[in-house]
Amino acid sequence: MANRRLRYDLTLLSCIFIMLLWPWILLGIIYSAKGIQMNKHLAKIVINHPHSINFFVTLFASVVCLLIDIIFSFAVIRFSQEWIANSDNITVFDVSVISGLRHQTLPWNVKEIKQLLVGNRVAPVSLVAICIGAFALIPSGITSLITPVPFKKNVTLHGVELDFSSSAADCLDWLENIKKPDCNFGVSYTLYRSKWFVNYCSASRRIISVVLRISWSMSLIPVAVT
């Protein structure tokens, strides 16, 4: 009997520690990594189905709250068993405090609470109220912890710079002596393989090859010849 009770107490204690520690461990991992990035498939699901994601996140938080409620209730019952077995003076107030902790409800009305907030009964009544408030924060806390949200993350970009200019000596001398044109050409592009960017590079290469009669592989800025 004693070994069975010990195994029960150890199992209950282990469950309590797990439920207390895993949110803080997850929060520490997310904070240290500055956000956990989803893969492309999961991110697409989150973006395309936001209401479904919110439903399952809220459902998971409710299940976690229910498990915590059950484990806490078992712990209160186990504590009350040992307390009643080793105490000769148990009052109705003590039983009401145990009931309030087990069910996370106030077993007294407003008038009774005002009468109980005196002497040594202030601490038990306050403990029940704090317990109810803490359990009310569990669903919202779990939901805010695991809900996927967009965030900014800076990473180091490694690349190779490509030089599309001509290295021929005649071309370099000609470019140094050319007059500055009156027009102002410029190109704005991104790193994406957009269709207009490829067409622009191809057109620039053909124009410069015909006008300057030199063989360049590619140019990003058109040259005006006067």
Q: How many CA atoms lie within 13 A of 48 on its CB side?
A: 6
Tell the residue number behind the tokens 């106030």, with chain if given: 106
Q: How many CA atoms lie within 13 A of 150 on its CB side?
A: 3
Long-range CB pairs of 153-156, under 8 A, 24+ apart, other chains included: 153/34, 153/35, 153/37
The whole-angstrom separation of Cα 81 and Cα 91 is 14
Structure tokens given for 129: 């109220």
The CA radius of gyration of the chain, in Å to the nearest whole number, is 36
Three-class secondary structure of residue 137 per DSSP: helix
Residue-wise pLDDT tens digits, 68-123? 999 999 999 988 888 888 888 888 888 898 888 888 888 888 888 888 888 888 88
In one-letter notation, the amino acid at residue 51 is H
**What is the predicted pLDDT for the residue at 203?**
58
In one-letter notation, the amino acid at residue 137 is L
pLDDT at 188 over 50: no
Structure tokens given for 221: 């800025």
Residue-wise pLDDT tens digits, 145-168? 888 888 777 767 666 666 666 666
The whole-angstrom separation of Cα 73 and Cα 75 is 5
This prediction has a pTM of: 0.61
User: Quick one: which of 165, 163, 174 has its CA closest to 225?
Assistant: 174
CA-angle at 170, arms to 221 and 209, nearest 5° = 45
Residues in the chain: 226
pLDDT at 60 over 90: yes
